[in-house]
Structure 1
């Protein structure tokens, strides 16, 4: 059974027994960056790396993990034998047996020699130790940026600066500053992601880098707001255009201009849908013209008299009538 005076594998990796496989992997990667003999300045880096790899080898394997958990929970059910040369060892380089209906059944766990076999042959006798550690892809990272709506209609390049949390070669947390030129494809709707291959966290032991996922948003302005691929575009109109239902020219977000016929007696907040004139996604969005009636400000005496005549013409109009 695991020696009570030594750290168990969970303690070595700094995880709990209920940690997920992803949490265990993340803890291993962090420690590997800190104690890998090729980069670590720690005096006991090689020894620590061996312990870390043995712990991860067991806890990352579902079958081995169950056996190890069983041994932790039932120490009284295991018998220890001195691990002589050539013997099959358990988790502590001793023969590992489990009681099964009164019979002692040796498990398939191969002990230190099998566990450390992936680091190269020999732990003495003048043989050189070689590390053939498993390669791991770096962590994928995520970021969010804001872009101009014009890029959604035409695509283009946007230069961005990102502050990305990561770990350095010694396993210490730090913030990495990245300056990237991101190609935003035409038709990208609000909230969609762009994947940049190999721009994520660096891999371990020569593994490939992770990817960087950038989520793009089009921030609302006084002119528009975006919902997925739909665009809500504010259009100012005059009181007479609204009342009489006149045709107006509207300059759309994509740079084009169209003639729009307003319904008679239009009101502020009313929406007119231009089908598939939103973001040209695979499923095109719609463009909603949101009407806003703007009252002219009277400056001259003549303009004030015009408002007075207007009021007399609509003397029966009660805007605050409940």
Structure 2
């Protein structure tokens, strides 16, 4: 077996679609030629793009899994089986002999033979002896994922992005096409929503129109921010006395400056929900402020005494009891 796409992405056969996506995103950050310092970054990026294109598509993955389990399933000499997918997921076409004794081989003959449909289709492909009428086929739709800052969700943006799109050449061999596009991202896009770019997918066959390209929007996770659908989770640092006394604070959030009251005796990781302050989608998400209590260092004698006083006042408190 020439390739194993699961090994290329570092996932198991039982990996979920989410696990496959996370593995791809991790590798893409490491090997993208625009940011990577690895010597073989471009080749690595091509490999993981082709692997992800197969494993992220339910039908392609099902076919690929079948061929992993049955590596010789397509090796039989049936005249009607002029093409298929190799065990490594790549398309291939092999020469075969039809009932009329003629050889059909290669990409052009595969579609020329079956283009007119079954039941007399071969005769429909030839208007006169030696003159073939080739049919056109639309290229496949393709899918890619891009990461953008959370600010784009609230403001929208037009960004220049470079993508490496897995595709197949005329010989059925997988290759990667690199393209740079100007993409307008409207505000209010939920994580996981897609933008359709007309005719930016795989090239058509025999003059057929190109497929479409679908870009899935992902928001960059940071130490403070994570996104789930239209909901935004934002970590807020507070002092022990703000958490204990329930004080008012003003903070900068992805939705802008807001004033909130910290609940009295707030706990670490406690969440405050700001309704409709998440991604401004048609159905707005919520903004969740996640409390993170930060304790100051006792660096001076006076500060150490303050902590000692605090300890004396709460001498009956034992967090380990």
Q: Cα gap change, 1:315/1:184 in structure 2, threshold over 3 Å: closer, same or farther?
A: same
C-alpha separation in 2, matches of 1:250 and 1:9 = 68
SS in 2 for 1:248: strand
Tell whether 2:83 aligns with 1:13: yes
Cα contact 1:239–1:295 (8 A) shared by 2? yes
Q: Residues 189-236 of structure 1, C-alpha deviation per residue, up to 9 Å, x if partnerless? A: 111111111110100111110011111111321111100000111001
How far 1:168 sits from its partner (Å)? 2.2
Show the 5 A alignment for 1:12-31. 12-14=82-84
C-alpha separation in 2, matches of 1:167 and 1:185 = 31
Q: Residues 132-178 of structure 1, C-alpha deviation per residue, up to 9 Å, x if partnerless? A: 32211101111111110000111102222212211223433211111
1:120 alignment counterpart: 127
1:187 alignment counterpart: 188
SS in 2 for 1:258: strand
1:52 to 104, 110, 123: 110
Show the 5 A alignment for 1:160-239. 160-239=161-240
Show the 5 A alignment for 1:99-138. 109-110=119-120, 115-123=122-130, 129=131, 131-138=132-139
Q: What is the aligned length?
A: 236
1:267 alignment counterpart: 267
How far 1:280 sits from its partner (Å)? 0.6
C-alpha separation in 2, matches of 1:262 and 1:164 = 48
Cα contact 1:13–1:56 (8 A) shared by 2? no
2:30 alignment counterpart: none
Any gaps of 5 or more consecutive residues in structure 2? 1-76, 94-101
Cα contact 2:142–2:212 (8 A) shared by 1? yes
Q: Cα gap change, 1:136/1:263 in structure 2, threshold over 3 Å: closer, same or farther?
A: same
Q: Cα gap change, 1:15/1:262 in structure 2, threshold over 3 Å: closer, same or farther?
A: closer
C-alpha separation in 2, matches of 1:158 and 1:312 = 57
Cα contact 2:107–2:172 (8 A) shared by 1? no
Cα contact 1:136–1:208 (8 A) shared by 2? yes
1:91 alignment counterpart: none
Q: Is the radius of gyration larger for structure 1 or structure 2?
A: 1
Q: Residues 95-136 of structure 1, C-alpha deviation per residue, up to 9 Å, x if partnerless? A: xxxxxxxxxxxxxx44xxx6233343233xxxxx2x432211
C-alpha separation in 2, matches of 1:148 and 1:307 = 40
CA RMSD of aligned residues (A): 2.8
1:294 alignment counterpart: 294
Cα contact 1:119–1:133 (8 A) shared by 2? no
C-alpha separation in 2, matches of 1:52 and 1:193 = 33
How far 1:181 sits from its partner (Å)? 2.1
How far 1:55 sits from its partner (Å)? 4.2
Q: Cα gap change, 1:122/1:268 in structure 2, threshold over 3 Å: closer, same or farther?
A: same
C-alpha separation in 1, matches of 2:252 and 2:284 = 19
Cα contact 1:9–1:55 (8 A) shared by 2? no
2:278 alignment counterpart: 278
**TM-score between the two structures when normalised by the length of structure 2:** 0.67
Q: Cα gap change, 1:303/1:202 in structure 2, threshold over 3 Å: closer, same or farther?
A: same
1:158 alignment counterpart: 159
Q: Cα gap change, 1:51/1:204 in structure 2, threshold over 3 Å: closer, same or farther?
A: closer
1:243 alignment counterpart: 244
